[in-house]
Each structure stands twice: as structure tokens, then as C-alpha cells.
Structure 1
Amino acid sequence: MSAILNNAPARAVLYNRFLANMPLAERQALAAHMWTEEFAVGTVLYRPGETMHTIYFPNDCLVSLMKEVEGQHALEIALVGGEGMLGYSGTVGQTQSPVRAVLQQAGSINCVSAEHFCMVCDTHHLVQNMCLLYSETLFAEAVQIAVCSHFHLLEARLARSLLTIRERLQSDNFHITHEFLAHALGVRRVGVTKAASSLQKQELIAYSRGKVTVLDPPGLALVSCACFQQIVGHVPSEFTPSLK
């Protein structure tokens, strides 16, 4: 269940860097009709084929975009955190979700109806341009992850995934289960357990009861494939502050 918070919208939107980078007039036009909700881990925001009635701007949470295959298997194709948004690509007529969007990390999200958001985009073309730019970013990330999933070893892919989570959340500490990682990487849970154990033995991460601490980011980056740098490089710098 989600609970509506009492935050003033003008304050809440600043936690999301996509919104914070909008000019004041555009941001105020959205904030006037925006509300903030708290969502639990596992909450599904969109399912494949569902109409996207709400546009989401995450604050301190993380949303995993999963592509399902025949309703039985799924692969994570992108992560959306405080740098981005979900639900609008700027493509005329695209109102149905092509993916399942599920909360990987709990937290708050700024919400606005798709109807009102489209009205703002029609009036403030800069908003639409920002959406198109971010949509291109997500597409590039999905392509990179598809290549990574096919060509790279699991340990390198796990390192890439953990580094991406760290970058999106801007934190060395986060919660994630082996089961969720297995779904995200499209592998069996035992494979994730083995790869995570290897990273722990190298003292790159600490992992206990779902809590992950990245101990050595540069070392983890060396174990990761080059896909992490490609994914980070696609995100416009103004949406992503530097995390050393």
C-alpha cells in the first residue's frame, strides 16, 4: 500500500533531479497538480499493456523496468532513480506501457496525471524535449544491458548492476535480495549467490540479509565490464551528480 505524504509539492519536486533541472515556470506548472506518495518494495507502477495514467518522478527510490517474455521470464532493461521519470516518451499515441515497472528500493515518488502532464508539454515545449532526451537515455541503457547480458560473465554483470544501483541512489548502502538480482539479471538465484560471494571475498562489497555495502567502488568497477561506464555516460550530467 502507498500513503500520500503531506510534503509541499514545490519542495518535493527538488528531490528529483529531472524536475529540479526544469526552469521555474515549467516546474511550477507541474507542481501545482503534483502529489507525493511513498511506495514499498515490490510495488508495480505499470504492467505491460496497461494504460499509463500517471507520470512518476522518483525521489529517493529505485524503479526497475522489466521486459517480460511469454509471461514467465523477465529481464531488467533499465533502472530509474532520482535522475529521471517514467510514463511519458513524447511519442504520439504511446499510452500503454511496454514494460513492467516495479519498485526495487522503497521511497517517495512525485506523481502527476498523464492528462495534465501532456497539457504542460503542449504549452512548455522544453519539458517535452527533456522527456525525449531522457527516453533516448533509457533506450541506450536497454541496448547496452541487452549486449551485456549476451556477452559478459555473470560476476562482471553483477558488479555492473550494483554500481548502477549505487549511482542511481547516490549511496554506497542499499537493500536488495539475491532473488531480485536473479530476476533482474535473468539467471538462477544460485548463480547470483556465487557471484556475490566472490565479490565479498575480494572485499569489494559486504552483503548480509539483503543489505549491500559497496566497500571499494574503484575495485568493483575493475571487476565490472565496460557496460557500466557506457550506461552512466548516456545519462545527461545535469541529471546525475558525481558520486566518488
Structure 2
Amino acid sequence: MHRPENALLLKLRPAARQQLLDHCEPFELVLSAELSVRGKPLQHAHFPIEGFLSLVIDVDSHPPLEVGMVGGEAMLGAELILGLAATPWRALAQGAGSSWRIGAQQLRTQIDAIPELEALLQACLLTRLHQQTLAAACQRYHQIAPRLARWLLMMQDRSHSECFHVTQEFMALMLGVRRVGVTEAASHFQDSGLIVYHRGELTVLDRKALEAEACSCYVADKQIYQRLMKAKV
């Protein structure tokens, strides 16, 4: 069985990739672990291999809201290229797995030593900016069911599995909506044979049908990634 890899690292020339990996260490992504804290210095960057991270933001006394998702297609910590000491969000492991981890200062040193790594991180950061802008508009204008379909597809893309553990409370929290809205949308998908959901265990049965239910932002998000990563790297 083919071992998953991080797509960003694969964009580096083999010699450059190995030079970077020589300064990385394998790291286990434990479900619900917090890898960065809002407003505090980022200690490490992560290149996920399996599993994925949610970027969540806390505003006043409101529940946390997901503003981004990072899996094997990207990395956590690209903003270190800007010299930033802190991030505006918290990064939580929402899918158990593994990553390559590198210290913040070590990454900055490697950026100076590997010119193509700088271009790669610039592209990654620009892609995230465009995707988060799209996500903000999606949250404002699209209905709950299409947004839920998009979110489930994004989870599946990064977990590489048809089955995952996720509660309705968590889905509502990540989408920033009331649980009743998620319950109605999930029930519709289940009644239509797209998913099966029981006590927090969700299985995607018909991915193509789920893609048809998702809002246009799902495809647009992928197009942003393909266009910007290809143009800049």
C-alpha cells in the first residue's frame, strides 16, 4: 500500500527535500491536541502526512469557529516566512495521524538555505489567504446543507477514508451554526443515501452525490490550490 506523503514536500527537488527533512522529526498528531495557540509564538511548523488540522478562531464569548483546514496538501506555519511570532488562530488536530515537525527558527534557517522552499511557502500562504477569503463569503451566503456537504468532502479528502468519528455538536461548532440546522441537513443526506450516521460515526456512501450537494466553494477551493501552487512553485 502506498505510504501517504505531504504534497508540499514532494514539490521540492529530492536534494532540497532531504535537506529539509534532515531538520524535521516525525510527530504524532493526537486527536484534539492543540498545536498552536492564538496570540502566542509559533514554536513549530508541521507538514501533515496523515490526519488533518482545523484552524479555529475565538471571538469574544462566542464558540470557536473553524476558518481553515490543513492536511497533507499544505502545512501549518507558512506565516513564519513573514517573520511573524504569533498566529491569529488555534490549530487543533481533528484527524489523528502524523506529520513532519520542524522548529520555527530551524524553518527560517532552511528558508534562507533553500531558495525554492521560500517560493513554496509563499505560494502556500497566498493559497490560504485566497481560500479563507472564499470561506468567509461561503459562510455568509450559502445555506447550511451545501456547506455541510463541502465540509464533509474536505474532511474525507484529508482523512483518506470514507468513515470518521464526528458529532453533530462538533459539525455545528465548526460551521458556526445551530445544531438543529446540521441535524436537518445530515438527516436529508442520510435519507437520500449519501451518508450513514449513527452515534458519532459517519460514513460517506455516495461521494459523487455528496459533491453534487456541496456548494460551489468546494470546487473553487480546489481550483485556487491548483492555480496558485502551480503558478508560484
Q: What TM-score comes out, normalization by structure 1 length?
A: 0.87
- The 2-side partners of 1:142 and 1:238 are apart by 14
1:4: which partner in 2? none
Q: Give the superposition deviation at 1:123.
A: 1.5
Hey, what does 2:21 align to over in structure 1? 31
Which residue of 24, 28, 35 maps to 1:45? 35
Residues paired across the two proteins, number: 228
Q: Is the 8 A contact 1:173 1:211 kept in 2?
A: yes
Instruction: Tell whether the 8 Å contact from 1:82 to 1:169 is kept in structure 2 after alignment.
Output: no
Q: Which of 131, 143, 154 is equivalent to 2:144?
A: 154
- Residue by residue, what CA displacement relative to the aligned partner does 1:174-211 show, whole Å, maximum 9, x if unpaired? 22222221111001223212211111011111122322
Q: Secondary structure at the match of 1:148?
A: helix
SS class of match (1:95): coil
Aligned 8 A contact 1:105 1:175 in 2:
no
Give the superposition deviation at 1:32.
Answer: 1.2
Aligned to 1:85: 75
- Runs of 4+ in structure 1 off by over 6 angstroms are none
Gap change, CA 1:237 and 1:59, over 3 Å in 2:
farther
- The alignment yields a C-alpha RMSD, in angstroms, of 2.1
Q: d(CA) in 1 for partners of 2:167 and 2:218?
A: 20
After TM superposition, list the pairs within 5 Å mapping 1:1-244 onto structure 2.
Answer: 15-89=5-79, 91-236=81-226
Q: Give the counterpart letter for 1:79 in structure 2.
A: M
Question: In 2 relative to 1, CA 47–144 (structure 1 residues): closer, same or farther, beyond 3 Å?
Answer: same
- Give the structure-2-normalised TM-score: 0.91
For residues 111-159 of structure 1, what are the alpha-carbon distances to aligned partners after superposition, in whole Å with 9 as ceiling and x for unaligned? Answer: 0111111111011111011111111111111111111111111111100
Unpaired runs of 5+ residues, structure 1, are 1-11, 240-244
How many percent of aligned residue pairs carry the same amino acid? 34
Distance 1:24 1:212 in 2: 38
| Secondary structure of 1:61 counterpart | strand
Residues 140 and 195 from structure 1, CA distance in 2 versus in 1: closer, same or farther, beyond 3 angstroms? same
In 1, are the aligned partners of 2:126 and 2:228 still within 8 Å (CA)? no
Letter in 2 for 1:188: R
Distance 1:78 1:20 in 2: 22
| CA distance, structure 1, for counterparts of residue 170 and residue 161 of structure 2 | 19
